[in-house]
Amino acid sequence: MALRSSGGVTTVHEEGTEPMKLRDRVALVTGAGAGLGRAIALAFAREGAMVVVNDISAERAAGTVAEIETLGGQALAVPADVADSGQVRQMFARAVEEFCTIDVLVNNAGLFHAAEIRNMEDEQWKRMLAVHLDGTFYCTREAVRIMEARGSGKIVNMASICGTAGLGLIAHYSAAKGGIIAFTKAAAKELIGKGIYVNALAPGFVETEGLRGSTTVEGKALSDFIQAVFGTIPLGRLGTPEEVTPLAVFLASDESSFMVGQVLSANGGQVI
């Protein structure tokens, strides 16, 4: 046996094995029923975390929980619309009832569709900002109320390169992600004195069912849009969830003990 200290936390592990980075932590991941959120939830479970799986779809949330349990992990499905502050409060209450606390929050819930500015409807704009930006705020507010009492916590906000560089046909998405980046920086400055670390991930385009299932403004498959995106990525391909999840694990773990208000971006060189 050997002792290993990381970020003030000492763990015991077998010689020759790498200790789990999130052992005994409780992590709440929003939008974890599919795509990148699901991949992050599974990665956290593999690192020893107990995972609260949120999704607006109860069926999708239950599916991710079943996968985590197959891995031998612990998880709880809590369906909720993060754009509804009342549902968010109930979600956190249920998570604390089950696991007593929240150590890590990943604000990942989102949606993606394209629309030209001149044709964009009020509800398209409002819903995009509500899910991404309001949802990030509502969940962060509830998490802070739990974390500050313990004097520790990690919050990871999912932004995008669209929030740093912008992209045509998704101005509403770009605006929402840009707001998340600004919120991350402000929250980090406010909360680090309470022992709460706030950082963000701003990945490029990642191959998920959500991206492939989206439609263009003409209602056609997104293949033409994706092909155009390929041309702007020096690496020449979309990313995979597995190329982003290690960054989420890093920011959620003690290894990121000197990371405050930062935006990490895996994007194949699309934004440098």
Where in the sequence numbering do the catalytic residues fall? 173
**Euclidean distance between CA atoms 35 and 188, whole angstroms:** 26
Q: Which of 126, 111, 128, 118 is nearest to 215 (CA)?
A: 111
Longest distance between any two alpha carbons in the chain, whole Å: 64
Residue 272 one-letter amino acid: I
Is 185 within 8 Å of 172 (Cβ atoms)? Answer: no
What does the DSSP 8-state code read for residue 18? P
Q: Decide: helix, strand or coil at residue 53.
A: strand
Q: Which two tokens stand for residue 113?
A: 């569709």
Number of Cα atoms under 13 Å in the Cβ half of residue 228: 8
Cα 247 from chain centre: 11
C-alpha to C-alpha distances, 135 to 30, 112, 176, nearest whole angstrom? 9, 15, 11
CB atoms within 10 A of CB 33: 25
Cα 262 from chain centre: 14
